[in-house]
């Protein structure tokens, strides 16, 4: 089966049809997907897998995927894949950057607005039948316009968030390890600051860093205590960037005012204390979940997989250093 592909979870039918037009496809058409043991078994004899972020492609799993040439990941964050392990075994890995920036940035704003203006709480209040009269302080919240927005991780999505902030007349501060060029800072009307200043100054702090060893738990008790008591924290990046227990304490003891969270440390489990916080808006990892964008990311992953199988360099390689040796192995095998 030289062109066999494993699709590890349910996806859009047109993407599966597209793959089937070019390759033999073993399709796991469920939302549950596969356990590690099942992944290993089903990857046997496949040249590529089209994976999603709930697939745990650890070093141990990858070590047992003999003959696999490519992991085409659906999505931009690939913290579920041990990239050094894949690289060491000469496996190409691709992701789908760029196409989901606007959709995810829209959602970061949805969470900022929902948390600041208590949209979920107000909706639950109306549905519960508790609304008896209008009052001057009923569901009173915080303004977003003309406030300071801090962006931790000013990459593709962070920059899309900054562009939206202009429409709300916000002052934008950001922190990255590498400062943007003056031209881009100027276009975005954004100012680089150190992380401590970002935490201290932000009325809204929106997280857009990838999950890696440098960012895991980079927002913990000390960071939360350094924020304003009126601040709102929004996370559409990855849950483990924030220490969830510390955040639950920060919200219940009002070290900060509120949070909008799309991602969690142990999805789909949520820290029980967080579930008690009425000042947190919680959503089930749907930052990129618009019909159009989710369709696009599955098609791009499919295109990456098929490119490799056809001996063409996949456009979105995460480990491009593998490509030269991969291509020569492919040519020699013909
Ligand atoms: P990106 O373009 O790579 O941007 C990430 C930014 O974070 C870069 O500017 C990087 O700059 C910065 N960064 C990395 N490590 C840092 C650190 N230790 N301290 C400060 N800044 C750091 O990534 P993206 O496409 O914007 O995506 C960001 C993340 O969003 C993804 O990795 C994914 O996990 C998440 N995401 C979630 C959803 C969802 O559904 N909720 C949807 C899409 C994406 P430097 O390297 O210069 O520091």
């496996």: which residue's tokens?
A: 91
CATH 3.40.50.720 segments of the chain:
4-99+291-333, 101-282
Q: Which fold has domain 4-99+291-333?
A: Rossmann fold (3.40.50)
Q: How far is the CA of 158 from the centre of ligand 1 (A)?
A: 8
- Tell me the three state secondary structure of residue 282: strand
- Contact status, residue 289 vs residue 49, Cβ threshold 8 Å: no
Alpha carbon of 153 to ligand 1 centroid (Å): 5
Q: Would you say residue 285 has pLDDT above 70?
A: yes
Task: Spell out the residues 6+ positions from residue 91 whose beta carbon is closer than 8 angstroms to its own.
Answer: 62, 65, 68, 69, 70, 71, 322
101-282 fold? Rossmann fold (3.40.50)
Ligand 1 atom nearest the C-alpha of 160 is 26
Phi and psi at 316, nearest 5°, equal: -120, 50
Catalytic residues, which ones?
Answer: 238, 267, 285
> Which pLDDT does position 3 carry in this prediction?
87
Which residue lies with its CA nearest to atom 9 of ligand 1?
A: 155
Q: Which atom of ligand 1 is nearest to the CA of 212?
A: 15
- Stated length of the chain: 334
- What's the pLDDT at 1? 52
287 pLDDT exceeds 90? yes
CB 106 within 8 A of CB 250: no
pLDDT tens for 293-316 read: 999 999 999 999 999 999 999 999
pLDDT of residue 121: 97
Please count the CA atoms within 13 angstroms of the CA of 6 that sit on its side-chain side: 24
Round the average pLDDT of the chain to a whole number and report it: 97
* Structure confidence by residue, pLDDT tens digits, 46-79: 999 999 999 999 999 999 999 999 999 999 999 9
Task: Tell me how far apart the terminal alpha carbons of the chain are, to the nearest angstrom.
Answer: 14
Give the strand pairing for 232-235 and 204-207. parallel
């Amino acid at each position: 089966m030289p062109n066999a592909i494993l699709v590890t979870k349910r996806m859009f039918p047109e993407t599966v049809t597209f793959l089937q037009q070019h390759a033999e496809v073993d399709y796991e058409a469920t939302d549950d997907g596969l356990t590690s043991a099942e992944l290993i078994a089903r990857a046997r004899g496949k040249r590529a897998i089209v994976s999603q972020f709930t697939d745990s492609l650890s070093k141990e799993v990858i070590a047992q995927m003999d003959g696999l040439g490519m992991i085409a990941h659906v999505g931009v964050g690939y913290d579920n894949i041990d990239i050094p392990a894949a690289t060491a075994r000469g496996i190409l890995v691709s992701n789908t950057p760029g196409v989901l920036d606007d959709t995810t940035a829209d959602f970061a704003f949805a969470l900022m607005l929902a948390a600041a203006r208590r949209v979920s709480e107000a909706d639950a209040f109306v549905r519960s039948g508790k609304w008896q009269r209008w009052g001057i302080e009923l569901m009173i919240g915080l303004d977003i316009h003309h406030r300071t927005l801090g962006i931790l991780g000013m990459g593709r999505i962070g920059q899309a968030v900054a562009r939206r902030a202009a429409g709300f007349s916000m002052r934008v501060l950001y922190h990255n390890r590498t400062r943007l060029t003056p031209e881009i800072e100027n276009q975005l009307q954004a100012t680089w600051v150190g992380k401590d200043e970002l935490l201290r100054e932000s009325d809204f702090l929106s997280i857009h860093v990838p999950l890696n060893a440098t960012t895991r738990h980079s927002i913990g008790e000390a960071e939360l205590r350094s924020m304003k008591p009126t601040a709102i924290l929004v996370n559409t990046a990855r849950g483990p960037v924030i220490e969830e227990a510390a955040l639950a304490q920060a919200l219940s003891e009002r070290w900060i005012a509120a949070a909008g969270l799309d991602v969690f440390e142990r999805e789909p489990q949520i820290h029980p204390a967080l579930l008690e916080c009425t000042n947190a808006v919680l959503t089930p990892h749907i930052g990129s979940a618009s019909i159009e964008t989710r369709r696009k990311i599955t098609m791009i992953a499919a295109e990456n997989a098929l490119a490799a199988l056809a001996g063409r360099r996949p456009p979105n390689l995460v480990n491009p250093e593998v490509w030269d040796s991969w291509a020569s192995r492919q040519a020699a095998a013909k």
